[in-house]
Amino acid sequence: MLGRLNHVAIAVPDLAAATAIYRDTLGAAVSQPQALPEHGVTVVFVELPNAKVELLEPLGEASPIAAFLEKSPSGGIHHICYEVNDILAARDRLKAAGARVVGDGEPKIGAHGKPVLFLHPKDFAGTLVELEQV
């Protein structure tokens, strides 16, 4: 069911500062910030040869990463995103196995313009998992 690793996401309190670390200290190629109000985050992608790092800063009053940053104020790894070919088939298979799909269970359009779903961290070894259809 799982395809390639698409991205590892890091929640940060200061997106500009985190972007500077990846761009200036680590010498990586970084995208422009992209505000995603429907997801409650602003994102910057760090481009690596084999995958991406997604830097996430809270956006708006009800950001889904706000509670995470309250517990880890200096930031930390927030989720991991795997590619799938058929997100509805993956969702139905996982739900049948007892896994919890976050929200209403319907895919949303993610930062790459493709359907995404999130799986509850308590069902995946303590790690929030994002699936992206490619």
Ligand X SMILES: CC[C@H](C(=O)O)C(=O)SCCNC(=O)CCNC(=O)[C@H](O)C(C)(C)COP(=O)(O)OP(=O)(O)OC[C@H]1O[C@@H](n2cnc3c(N)ncnc32)[C@H](O)[C@@H]1OP(=O)(O)O
Counting Cβ atoms within 10 Å, is residue 123 exposed (0-12), middle (13-18) or buried (19+)?
middle
Q: Catalytic positions, please?
A: 130
Q: Which stretch binds Co ion (CB under 5 A): 23-31, 66-74, 79-87, 100-108?
A: 79-87
User: What tokens were used for 125?
Assistant: 């070894």
Cα–Cα dist 62/77, whole Å: 20
> Binding to ligand X (CB under 6 A): which residues in 51-80?
54, 56, 64-65, 67-68, 78-79
Cα–Cα dist 40/132, whole Å: 18
- Of 15, 18, 39, 133, the residue at the interface with ligand X (CB under 6 A) is 39
Question: What DSSP state is assigned to residue 101?
Answer: B
We find the least distance from the C-beta atom of residue 78 to Co ion, in angstroms, to be: 8
- Quick one: what does residue 64 bind among Co ion, ligand X, none, with the CB cut-off 5 to 8 Å set by partner type? ligand X
Residue 118 lies near ligand X (rule: CB under 6 A): yes
- Quick one: what does residue 91 bind among Co ion, ligand X, none, with the CB cut-off 5 to 8 Å set by partner type? none
Question: CB-hemisphere CA count at 13 Å for 77?
Answer: 12
- The binding site for ligand X (CB under 6 A) comprises 9, 36, 39, 41, 54, 56, 64-65, 67-68, 78-79, 81, 102, 110-111, 116, 118, 120-122, 126-128, 130
